[in-house]
Amino acid sequence: MTLFSPRVFSGMQPTGNLHLGNYLGAMLNWVKMQETNECIYCVVDMHAITLWQDPKALRQAIRDVTASYLACGVDPKRSIIFNQSQVPEHAELAWVFNCVARLGWLNRMTQFKDKAGKDKEAASVGLYVYPNLMAADILAYKATHVPVGDDQKQHLELARDIAAKFNNDYEVEFFPQPEPMITGPATRVMSLRDGTKKMSKSDPSDLSRINLTDSADDIAKKIRKAKTDMDALPSETAGLKARPEAENLVGIYAALSSKTAQEVLNEFGGGQFSGLKNALADLAVEKLAPIADETKRLQSEQTYVDSVLAEGAARARAIAGPIVRDVREIVGFIVS
Ligand code: AQP
């Protein structure tokens, strides 16, 4: 069996401001992993246009998301930071994978069903083949580890299937089986307005999420306004079952304080939500307000942010270029 050197790849979409779910589900892991691994972190702008984006807002969001990466501690000297559209190998490999993946596999993808909504006929073809592009993002670098939130598990399984089928169809040991690393302190952060829905950039209600650019006042306000039920907090984690809002707030507090949910309930169990909310508001402000300040500072440094992306794209291409060239050879194209 071929051994692949460890390499980390992950990305986020510039479809709005990053939020607490992105931070706890993926970003904290990204920052930690760069201490011991070669890491490639992408702003996946080609994924973003699978749903229509205003061009001016998209360009701004690419820079803003990059600023958030940097503000959270992704280090451009250690890790490669770039935006996907500046490295054409992603699109090229995605086309090959469109011809490897099977319709039946894509038909099972729950994110497409969620995002396309009721009128699937009106969804873009890009939204449908989004998982093939994601597989190309990862495999263009032969990445072996992919730190993501829980919602990306199914797409990662598809990327593994595509890698295996490519290797099998062409009788090569070319692509690794990328491992999902769903190990953030909170792998599925839920909306503050509805504990059954994932916290998401595209939720129309800004009160549903804590953005990484929110002011201290906004963070505190959103937590105080978070939906809750009428009962007191339970003393045991078993009592959080069927109480999604309570489970979410306890989970967020646990993640931000590096405690277990049971430790949080030892402190707040039996009390009303207001006690937990007040403590959570203070904690979230302490952890997130410095990130917001640094993001804002970097947002005014456009030349610097653009230079990080340009340099990152050149470094990314230096890796993806030869890998995709080999793919052309393997599938039988003429390579000049
Ligand atoms: N609520 C969440 N809890 C934990 N992890 C999350 N992630 C996203 N939401 C949560 C993780 O963040 C990374 C980047 O996600 P993305 O930008 O690629 O898009 P997404 O998963 O579709 O996130 P959003 O916020 O819901 O964006 P929109 O609204 O544009 O679709 C991924 O690792 C994801 O797992």
Atom of ligand 1 nearest to the CA of 19: 25
39-72 confidence digits (pLDDT tens): 999 999 999 999 999 999 999 999 999 999 999 9
Residue ID of nearest Cα to ligand 1 atom 24:
200
Whether 259 sits among the annotated catalytic residues: the reply is: no
- In this predicted structure, the answer to whether residue 185 has a pLDDT above a threshold of 90 is no
- In this predicted structure, the answer to whether residue 1 has a pLDDT above a threshold of 70 is no
CA distances from 93 to 61, 62, 97, 223 (A): 25, 22, 6, 43
- SS3 assignment, position 19: strand
Distance 3 CA to ligand 1 centre (A): 31
Long-range Cβ contacts of 317-324 (<8 Å, 24+ apart): 317/87, 317/89, 319/40, 319/80, 319/140, 319/141, 320/87, 320/89, 320/90, 320/93, 320/140, 320/141, 321/89, 323/89, 323/139, 323/140, 323/141, 323/142, 324/89, 324/92, 324/93, 324/140
Residues with CB under 6 A from ligand 1: 12-13, 15, 21-22, 25-26, 148-149, 151-152, 187-189, 198-202
Sign of the dihedral through C-alpha 112, 121, 134, 157: positive
Q: How confident is the model at residue 336 (pLDDT cuts 50, 70, 90)?
A: confident
Give CA–CA dist 182/163, Å, rounded: 20
Give CA–CA dist 188/149, Å, rounded: 6
115-159 confidence digits (pLDDT tens): 999 899 999 999 999 999 999 999 999 999 999 999 999 999 999
Please state whether 73 falls in left (phi above 0), alpha (psi between -120 and 50) or beta.
left
pLDDT score, position 252: 98
Q: Cβ-count burial of 125 within 10 angstroms (0-12 exposed, 13-18 middle, 19+ buried)?
A: exposed
Give CA–CA dist 138/90, Å, rounded: 9
Which amino acid would we find at residue 322?
P
From the candidates 56, 120, 153, 201, give the one annotated as an active-site residue: 201
Give CA–CA dist 219/232, Å, rounded: 23
Give CA–CA dist 316/322, Å, rounded: 11
The tokens describing 164, both together, are: 């295996």
Which residue is listed with tokens 């490999």? 93
Whether 115 sits among the annotated catalytic residues: the reply is: yes
pLDDT score, position 202: 87
Distance 12 CA to ligand 1 centre (A): 7
Atom of ligand 1 nearest to the CA of 18: 25
- SS3 assignment, position 137: helix
Residue ID of nearest Cα to ligand 1 atom 34:
149
Distance 201 CA to ligand 1 centre (A): 7
Nearest to 250 by CA among 236, 265, 238, 235: 265
Query: Are 153 and 211 contacting, i.e. CB atoms less than 8 angstroms apart?
Result: no
- In this predicted structure, the answer to whether residue 2 has a pLDDT above a threshold of 70 is no
- In this predicted structure, the answer to whether residue 184 has a pLDDT above a threshold of 90 is no
Residue ID of nearest Cα to ligand 1 atom 8:
22
From the candidates 115, 165, 287, 296, give the one annotated as an active-site residue: 115
270-326 confidence digits (pLDDT tens): 999 999 999 999 999 999 999 999 999 999 999 999 999 999 999 999 999 999 999
Which residue is listed with tokens 């190309």? 136
235-282 confidence digits (pLDDT tens): 999 999 999 999 999 999 999 999 999 999 999 999 999 999 999 999
Give CA–CA dist 41/8, Å, rounded: 8
pLDDT score, position 192: 98
pLDDT score, position 44: 98
